[in-house]
Amino acid sequence: MFVNAMGLILADNQRVKLGPLSEPRALSAMPFGGRYRIIDFLLSNMVNSGIKRVGVIALTRYKSLMDHLGTGASWDLDRMNQGLFLLPPYINPMTRSSERSDLSSIIDYIETGSQDYVVITDCNLIMNTLYNDLLDRHIESGADITVMYNRDALEYGLPNISLMLDEEERLYDVLADSHTVSTEFSSINVAVVRKDLLLSVLEESRSRGVTDFTFLRLLEFYKQLEIKGCEHKGKVFRINSMANYFKASMSLFDDDLRHQLFSEVTPIYTKVKNQPPCLVEPGSRVNNVLASDGCIIQGDVENCVLFRGVTVGKGAKLRNSVIFQNTQISNDADLNHVIIDKDSVVKMGVRLLGHPGFPVVIGKGSIV
């Protein structure tokens, strides 16, 4: 009944830029799908796999992440001995600057866990899966590290990792953000590694003056260690650009995909909010709309994701847009291909028109 693994989530990735949406929050705290944040998928996959001890490395911009995670109760991780561990950077008491020993807090977290394996995930993966097969495969194969991959075509120039695997799925080269070479194996940044091996790798890195820990750095150990791939079949969204974020949001209107991503068997958990039911008033139109509790809809909405507490005024027309929490779209506004961050106001009659590849993005708390 126990899974012999602890989890480690790399909660931010400085290399992924989502414009004004990234400013107030770590990448894993990005809202997605009406009521979630990306980290909800990362945490739920772990919890659903039976992992009961999860460390979240949050080096910067961790305020909104802390607020969201709270005691961990929403993921059933408010546990006595296990549970959720937020790993902030160590601060030097004298200089008041980060001690550049981010590795220390990771090492500390891993050392004190009783499990023999560590499941590490990067911060930008939207998928609904269990890690039990990966873990079993890893233990059977005897590899040092096992990394998930699929055969999605990766776009040039975006933060991605391509894997060069031999016919036994053994890693022999890693290509980051490849501009030129394309491989058929694309990393899904989830890996399993034995606790003691990870510790020795981290200790060695620290002693050589390395200060940070990224997924790429882990895979680059392929020279010294046996790293194997493990193919994953389900749908994965890698959120590594604004266009990909927008595309992933718009794909939620597909019934099959949505039901797969929000399976009732392996639910995606998120922070509980107590909003009243959504009210749809007469005179409104709602087609292909994912809406959330607390919304009040009076306008004409199509192909949109509305987060909790969004209001859409009379005569407003929304198309192909994503509206974050508590944003107010006033009467007669007209939006198409727009992403608006939370607590914003779009005033009466305002028109905003973006393009599928280049949505208009409005930052948090804006008044337009």
Partner 1 sequence: MAHQDVVALILAGGQGSRLGVLTEFLAKPAVPFGSRYRIIDFPLSNCSNSGIEAVGVLTQYQPLELNSYIGNGHSWDLDRNDGGTYILPPYVSQEGSDWYLGTANAIYQNIPFIDSFSPKHVLILSGDHVYKMDYSQMVRTHTEVGADASIAVIEVPWEETDRFGIMNTDENKRINEFDEKPAHAKSNLASMGVYCFNWSSLRRCLIEDEADPDSKNDFGHNIIPRMLDEGLFLYAYTFEGYWKDVGTVKSLWDTNMDVLDTPEVLDLHDQSWIIYSKNPQRPSHYFGPKAVAERIAISDGAEVHGEVRHSVISVGAKVEVDAVVEDSIIMPGAIVKSGAVLRKCIVGMNTVIGSDVLIAPEISDENDFVNNRLCEAGISVIAQDLVIHDGAQISGNSMIGPGDAVTHPHIVSEMPTRYSY
Q: Is 73 in the site for partner 1 (CB under 8 A)?
A: yes
User: CA-CA distance, 59 to 72, in Å (whole number)?
Assistant: 18
Please report, as residue ranges, which positions from 78 to 97 form the binding site for partner 1 (by CB under 8 A): 78-81
Instruction: State the binding partner of 33 from partner 1, a copy of itself, none, CB within 5 to 8 A by kind.
Output: partner 1
Residue number with CB closer to a copy of itself (97 or 180): 97
Candidate residues 157, 276, 349, 356; the one interacting with partner 1 per rule CB under 8 A? 276
Instruction: State the binding partner of 71 from a copy of itself, partner 1, none, CB within 5 to 8 A by kind.
Output: a copy of itself
DSSP β-ladder status, 145-150 and 185-194 = antiparallel
Q: Is 60 in the site for a copy of itself (CB under 8 A)?
A: yes
Question: Which residues does 19 contact at the CB level (< 8 Å), separation at least 6?
Answer: 242, 361
Residue number with CB closer to a copy of itself (20 or 83): 83
Which two structure tokens, joined as six digits, stand for 84? 């959720």
Q: Is 274 in the site for partner 1 (CB under 8 A)?
A: yes
- Enumerate the β-bridge partners of residue 8: 55, 120
Selection from 76, 101, 74 nearest residue 87 by Cα: 101
Sign of the dihedral defined by the CA atoms of residues 302, 306, 312, 318, in that order: negative
Question: Which residues does 363 contact at the CB level (< 8 Å), separation at least 6?
Answer: 20, 21, 23, 341, 344
Q: Is 209 in the site for a copy of itself (CB under 8 A)?
A: no
Instruction: State the binding partner of 284 from partner 1, a copy of itself, none, CB within 5 to 8 A by kind.
Output: partner 1
Candidate residues 100, 206, 247, 258; the one interacting with partner 1 per rule CB under 8 A? 258
Q: Specify whether the backbone of 349 is left (phi greater than 0), alpha (psi in -120 to 50) or beta.
A: left
Candidate residues 98, 214, 284, 331; the one interacting with partner 1 per rule CB under 8 A? 284
Residue number with CB closer to a copy of itself (78 or 166): 78
Please report, as residue ranges, which positions from 96 to 155 form the binding site for a copy of itself (by CB under 8 A): 96-98, 100, 105, 108
User: CA-CA distance, 288 to 320, in Å (whole number)?
Assistant: 9
Angle between the N-to-C axes of helices 195-207 and 102-111, in degrees from 0 to 180, rounded to the nearest 10: 160
Candidate residues 7, 113, 294, 299; the one interacting with partner 1 per rule CB under 8 A? 294
Q: Is 354 in the site for a copy of itself (CB under 8 A)?
A: no
Question: Which residues does 217 contact at the CB level (< 8 Å), separation at least 6?
Answer: 205, 210
Q: Is 279 in the site for partner 1 (CB under 8 A)?
A: yes
Could you identify the residue written with the tokens 């509790």? Answer: 293
Q: How far is the CB of 41 from a copy of itself (least distance, A)?
A: 23
Q: Are 337 and 360 in contact (CB under 8 A)?
A: yes
Candidate residues 72, 159, 229, 313; the one interacting with a copy of itself per rule CB under 8 A? 72
Instruction: Tell me the window of 55-63, 255-263, 296-304, 315-323 that interacts with a copy of itself (CB under 8 A).
Output: 55-63
Q: Is 260 in the site for partner 1 (CB under 8 A)?
A: no
Q: Are 227 and 144 in contact (CB under 8 A)?
A: yes
User: CA-CA distance, 210 to 101, in Å (whole number)?
Assistant: 9
φ, ψ dihedrals at 59, nearest 5°: -90, -30
Q: Is 247 in the site for a copy of itself (CB under 8 A)?
A: no
What is the contact surface with partner 1 in residues (CB under 8 A)?
1-2, 33-35, 73-74, 76, 78-81, 253, 255, 258, 261-262, 264, 267-270, 272-274, 276-284, 286-294, 305-306
What is the contact surface with a copy of itself in residues (CB under 8 A)?
14, 59-63, 66, 71-73, 78, 80, 83, 86, 88-93, 96-98, 100, 105, 108, 272
